[in-house]
Amino acid sequence: MSDGRVLVFFDLETTGLDTTKCEIIQVAAVHEERVFSVYILPSQPIDEGATKVTGFTVRDGKLFCHEDLKATTPLLEALQSFIAFLSSFRRPVLLVGHNARSFDAPILSRVLTQSSLLEPFREAASGTLDTLPVSRELFPDLQNHRQEFLVRRFLNKQYGAHNAVEDAKVLQELFKHWDIQDQTVWEKHVF
């Protein structure tokens, strides 16, 4: 199904929805049973809307998610650890995310560029697949292509949405469930 590429499913949680300025709060990635997750204390306030969706808050210089204190890692170290995780797989690695082209990838690219880590990242990941247009192509009659809806529809379950680890895990499960035999169906959505 992946033409020899390692599919690593990933997700970000951020301080807001503005891809030009929001900060990353959580980076997570999964491949089979291997899981990577790191939390980052943002330097800017978390938008009220983001807090409502994700449960993340900052109090007294500490990051909480639904009142649970999260151990945080400095941004540069977090990004280096993410690159190291991706580099640990046989090449090439293809990142897979839902709505990645419009949201996760622009944020990640901006932050990696600002941290002078874009080139090492590109050496670790050969590209990104966005499953949102894939779902639209495979299931054009569906009125909704949000990940939570797709999980209920195809996997008949609910999950801890808006936690990057849970989002990445369930996206991996959803993609496997779709069992796309014709690689050309999803290959055109790789960037």
Note the pLDDT tens digit of each residue in 129-148: 999 999 999 999 999 999 99
Which ranges of the chain does DSSP label H, i.e. alpha helix?
48-54, 75-87, 105-114, 118-124, 131-138, 147-155, 164-178, 184-187
Q: What is the pLDDT of residue 159?
A: 86
Instruction: Give me the residues of the chain with pLDDT under 50, please.
Output: 1
* Domains of the chain, start order: 6-187 (3.30.420.10)
- Using DSSP, state whether 181 is helix, strand or coil: coil
- Rounded to two decimals, the pTM is 0.94
Amino acid at 61: G
